[in-house]
Amino acid sequence: MNRVQLRFTVILIIIGLMVSIQYNTIQTPESRDTRDVWEIRQELSKEMQLHSELLKEIRSANDTLIKYENIQSESPEQALRETVMELREYAGLTDFNGPGLTLVVKPSIESMALGNGISIISPELLTRLINEINRFGSQAIGVDGKRLTLLSPIRDINGETTVNGLPIKTPPFEIRIGTSTMEEARQVYNALHASNIGDDFFIDNLSLEIKDPVSKMTIPAYDQPIDNKYLSEAEKE
């Protein structure tokens, strides 16, 4: 094979590779986002809500830090007491008194008319409702008189749905939602009405009544023992 034939062969190989790559690209296009505009808007709304909540947490932490630094220079003991009280409120160890709204979980009218037995709320449905409430914003939540905390388990124990290890009674029962302001209470009210969570209750032969926000309500504090697995008292010097 002379030099001309060798060059011609190499050129043909390069052209063949290029044609093959182009063919594969046409046959296997990159995956595209097939979601419609509404689904994308919903995802964007969730991300914006999360961003807003993170900014709110950052502002709250900065305010607490500034407040602590100001008080610490005047009275370290007072600063420590106020910090402990704020942490107890955040953990749900104190009664909540402020604006909010009440939800009532009841048997659905259709199930009662058909003579079906009263269904208990499942742990999965209750967990989804709590997640919806937390997504829309809340300062405190009480389920059937049981205060929820960040560590509150919602489980099925012997066929009963429990919160903090205590059984939830058969519907009807109340869920109280405490908020920082009346504006936030109205936002939670409107968001729950716009949510499709009510459809999930209907499927389980239950209904969710969302009562109007009120300016004053009480949610009892968490009253169960707290197990500090990772905290210990520092040694006194």
What are the mean pLDDT values of the chain's consecutive 10-residue runs (237 residues total)?
59 70 56 65 73 73 70 67 78 92 93 76 94 88 94 92 93 95 94 90 92 96 76 64
Those residues whose C-beta lies under 8 Å from the C-beta of residue 119, and which sit 6 or more positions away, are: 107, 111, 171, 204, 205, 206
What's the pLDDT score for residue 1? Answer: 54
User: What's the CATH code, domain 95-223?
Assistant: 3.30.70.1880
**Three-class secondary structure of residue 218 per DSSP:** strand
Per-residue DSSP letter, 142: E
The pTM (predicted TM-score) of the whole model is 0.67
- Count CB-CB contacts under 10 A for residue 152: 17
Give me the residue spans of the domains in the chain.
40-91, 95-223
- Which residue, 98, 94, 102, is CA-closest to 173? 102
Contact 175, 211 (CB under 8 A): no
Which pLDDT value is given to residue 119?
Answer: 82
| 8-state DSSP, 58 | H
For residue 143, the SS3 value is strand
